[in-house]
Amino acid sequence: MSSAVERRRPPTAQQFVLAELRRAITGGELRPGDPIRQDSLAARLDVSRVPLREALKTLEAEGLVVHHVHRGYFVAELSLDDLEEIYRIRRILETEAVLAALRRGPDGLFASLEAIQREVEEAAGTGDVTAMAEANRRFHFTLVEASGMPRLVRLIATLWDATDAYRSLYYTEEPHRARAVHEHRAVLSAVLESDERALVHWLDEHRDHAVAALREVLARE
């Protein structure tokens, strides 16, 4: 097992496997529809089948993987209709969350977002899709969690989990990474200026561009 993998190992085997599977899916190593070969994966991660099965059950409950009888586990596939529906629901819920966050205006919100955005831009510049996806998620959830509405945040997280396998399809191409960086910067400006209309506008643009890009990718595939 590589030293990089060893450094990432969380306290328990199940947490470690879960983190590595997420990394493989969001980073594009495992793509939508790909089979998850448990024997080779357990050997590569140097774990038994038990924590691997538990991690897969967790991902199945989240909708990130699916299990087919007599065939095994596969990375979940979504139709374009599924993706568009998820993003429409996200638009409704996230608008409510970010407006509440802006009105609450918790101390340090802008500084936290700006620090995470630097990580987004560094990953975008190097083409590190996994790191960009992780930083992008932290950017958005730092904003929605500032709403002070944990039930709403959990609903939004469920929708994000369902589309994790598609994150790498969007960030693989440099123009999409550059667009995301630009849109994040516009969101930051809106937060700094407490501009509700601009904040909602740029988040809507951000989601719409992601859906448009994924529509093209799925059409090609």
How high is the pLDDT of residue 119? Answer: 97
CA distances from 183 to 31, 73, 119 (A): 26, 36, 15
Cα–Cα distance for residue pair 35/98, rounded to 1 Å: 37
pLDDT at 4 over 80: no
Confidence class of residue 1 from pLDDT cuts 50, 70 and 90? very low
Domains observed in the chain = 3-75 (1.10.10.10), 80-220 (1.20.120.530)
Cα–Cα distance for residue pair 67/82, rounded to 1 Å: 19
Looking at 105-128, list the stretches that DSSP marks H as alpha helix, in order from N- to C-terminal side: 109-126
SS3 assignment, position 157: helix
pLDDT at 67 over 70: yes
pLDDT at 23 over 80: yes
pLDDT at 220 over 80: no
How high is the pLDDT of residue 205? Answer: 96
Cα–Cα distance for residue pair 143/140, rounded to 1 Å: 5
Instruction: Annotate 40-78 with b (16+ C-beta within 10 A) or e (fewer).
Output: ebbeebebeeebbebbbebbeebbbbbeeeeeebbbbeb
Name the strand (E) or helix (H) holding 81. helix 80-104
Mean pLDDT, to the nearest integer, of 79-85? Answer: 90
How high is the pLDDT of residue 46? Answer: 87
Reported as half-sphere exposure (CB side, CA atoms, 13 A), residue 176 has a value of 22
Mean pLDDT, to the nearest integer, of 186-200? Answer: 97
Per-residue pLDDT tens for 121-178? 999 999 998 899 999 999 999 999 999 999 999 999 989 988 888 877 888 889 999 9
CA torsion 30-165-148-16 (nearest 10°) is: -10
Residue 136: Cβ within 10 Å count: 25
Per-residue pLDDT tens for 88-129? 999 999 999 999 999 999 999 999 999 999 999 999 999 998
> Of the spans 60-69, 71-80, 102-111, 158-167, which averages the highest pLDDT?
102-111
How high is the pLDDT of residue 79? Answer: 85
Residue type, 113: L
